[in-house]
Each structure stands twice: as C-alpha cells, then as structure tokens.
Homo-oligomer: A and B are copies of this chain.
C-alpha cells in the first residue's frame, strides 16, 4: 500500500467535499471512496465528520495555494501573472467536467452560521491565497495598501468567476475575469 489509510481518507474527503459540499457528503461515502472502513475513519478522526472536513479543507487549501503560486510565478508582468491564474483555473475546471471548482466555497457557505473549526479553515484558506497574490504584487512594485486591496479583489473575482463558469459550464467567465483583472492590475503601474 503506497498511500496511508489516513491520507486516502483526507484525499477522498477533499475531492468529495469540493464537488458536493459538506452536508452533501456522507462519512460512509468518504470511507467507501477511500477504500477504508468506518472504523478507520473514526480511528484517525475521533472528531467525526467535522474533523475530517477540516483536514479536507486544509488539504484543498494547500493544493490550491501551490497551483496559485506556480501560476503567479509563470509570468514576468504581474498583470499577465494574474491572467495566467485565471487561464489555468479555466483549463483545470474544464478538464474536470466543470466539477472541481474552488475547494472551500461550497463548504464555507453551508457552514456559515456554525462558527465551527471548518469556518476558520475556510477563512484561513482565503486569507492565505490573498497573501500569495499580495506578495506577488508587492514584488512587482505596488505599495503595500494597493497590493492588499487589489489582491482581495483578485481572489474574490477568481472565486466568483469559477462559480459562474461551473454553473454555465463555460470557461468564458474565467477568461473574461482574467482579462479584466489584468487590465485592472495594469492601471497600477
């Protein structure tokens, strides 16, 4: 067995939660998808479903951050870099059959009123991604305030465009958003 049972559970949970949300994903379904048993799930995650979800969100967070980092560093110009993010998301989303969107949005919305640890994990993810973009803009010469404000909008826009792309089953929203964000970033030079 190459991957540990725990890892397989987290991986399966991350994928399922990303596609179906937190409420729509059952513990038993996670166990089945991970080729594990219910006993194993509760052995590794005594906190139950919520603990599994937190681990899944954290995994999705890290995975998405890596993608974002790579795209941001793929271009010299910061505007082109932001556009590259959007294009990368578009191709990845299309390749997954419009299924694998943002790994936290659905879960974040479903658990809004609960002030559970899941909420915190989602907020941490968003914050982390914003910091990545802000850092990239800072390196490009923007002021600290400009970088922070712009980075927040970049992440929000990508987030929203991804949802729109999934619902309409088209990469156009993401590609549009990329172009417009590039145009916006260019105004700060």
Contact = CB atoms under 8 A, between A and B. Distances in A.
Contacts of A158: 160
Interface stretch (A5-13, A62-70, A146-154): A146-154
A146 to B, nearest CB: 10
Instruction: Give the dominant DSSP class at A's interface.
Output: helix
Count identical subunits in the complex: 2
A167 B187 CA distance: 29
Q: In the complex, which range does the number of interface residues on chain A fall in?
A: 35 or more
Nearest to A24: B23
A188 to B, nearest CB: 9
Given A160-B161, A164-B156, A21 B149 contact: no
Contacts of A149: 176, 179-180
Given A112-B98, A163-B109, A126 B168 contact: yes
A112 B113 CA distance: 23
A109 B113 contact: no
A177 interface: yes
A126 B24 contact: no
Given A21-B21, A166-B109, A172 B152 contact: yes
Interface of A: 19-21, 23-24, 98-99, 101, 105-106, 108-110, 112-113, 119, 122-123, 126-127, 149-150, 152-153, 155-161, 163-164, 166-168, 172-173, 176-177, 179-181, 183-184, 187
